[in-house]
Structure 1
Amino acid sequence: MSASVGQPQRVWATLALVVVLLGLLLALRLVLIVPILRKKAGLKVNQKPRKRSEDESIKVAVFLGSGGHTAEMLKLVSALDPARYTERIYFVSHGDQFSSQKARELETSLASTRTRIKSESRREKDDTSDSTPRVVVEELPRARRVHQSFATTPLTAAQCLLVCIDHVLVRPLKASWRTGTRPRRRPQSDSGRSPPVSRKNDVFADLLLLNGPGTCVPLVLAVYIRKVLGLHAPHIIGKFRRRMSRLARMK
Structure 2
Amino acid sequence: MMNLILTLVQVSIVVPVVFTFARGLYLIYLIYTESCGFNDAKQSLRTIFCVGSGGHTSELLKLISQMDMQIYRPRLYIMADTDNTSETKIIKFENNDNNYKLSKIPRSRNVNQSFKSSVFSTLYAIYVTIPLIYKFNPNLIFCNGPGTCVPICIVAFIMRCLFLIDCRIVFVESVCRVRTLSLTGNILQFFVDVFVVQWPQVHKVCFRSKYYGRLT
- 1:115 equivalent in structure 2: none
Taking the aligned partners of 1:24 and 1:231, their CA distance within structure 2 comes to 17
Using the TM superposition, give the Cα deviation of residue 164 of structure 1 relative to its aligned residue in structure 2, in angstroms: 1.1
Using the TM superposition, give the Cα deviation of residue 210 of structure 1 relative to its aligned residue in structure 2, in angstroms: 0.6
SS at match of 1:138: strand
Q: With structure 1 as the length reference, what TM-score do the two structures score?
A: 0.61
2:34 equivalent to 1:69: no
Using the TM superposition, give the Cα deviation of residue 149 of structure 1 relative to its aligned residue in structure 2, in angstroms: 3.2
One-letter code aligned to 1:144: R
1:163-196, Cα deviation, whole Å (9 max, x unpaired):
1111101x34xxxxxxxxxxxxxxxxxxxxxxxx
Using the TM superposition, give the Cα deviation of residue 206 of structure 1 relative to its aligned residue in structure 2, in angstroms: 2.2
Residue in structure 2 matching 1:220, options 136, 144, 153: 153
Residue in structure 2 matching 1:232, options 162, 165, 188: 165
Using the TM superposition, give the Cα deviation of residue 134 of structure 1 relative to its aligned residue in structure 2, in angstroms: 1.7
- 2:104 equivalent in structure 1: 139
**Cα separation, partners in 2 of 1:219 and 1:9, compared to 1, 3 Å:** same
Higher-RCO chain (CA-CA 8 Å, sequence separation at least 6): 1
The answer to whether the Cα contact below 8 Å between 2:50 and 2:78 also exists between their aligned partners in 1 is: yes
Alignment length (residue pairs): 178
Aligned CA RMSD, in angstroms, stands at 2.8
The answer to whether the Cα contact below 8 Å between 2:79 and 2:148 also exists between their aligned partners in 1 is: no
Using the TM superposition, give the Cα deviation of residue 22 of structure 1 relative to its aligned residue in structure 2, in angstroms: 3.1
SS at match of 1:208: strand
**Cα separation, partners in 2 of 1:17 and 1:231, compared to 1, 3 Å:** closer
- 2:23 equivalent in structure 1: 29
- Larger radius of gyration, structure 1 or 2? 1
- 2:204 equivalent in structure 1: none
Q: With structure 2 as the length reference, what TM-score do the two structures score?
A: 0.69
Map residues 13-24 of structure 1 onto 2, 5 A cutoff: 13-24=7-18
2:60 equivalent to 1:95: no
* Runs of 5+ unmatched residues, structure 2: 174-194, 198-209, 211-216
Taking the aligned partners of 1:58 and 1:157, their CA distance within structure 2 comes to 27
**Cα separation, partners in 2 of 1:82 and 1:26, compared to 1, 3 Å:** closer
- 2:133 equivalent in structure 1: 168
Map residues 32-71 of structure 1 onto 2, 5 A cutoff: 32-35=26-29, 45-50=34-39, 52=41, 56-71=43-58
- 2:124 equivalent in structure 1: 159
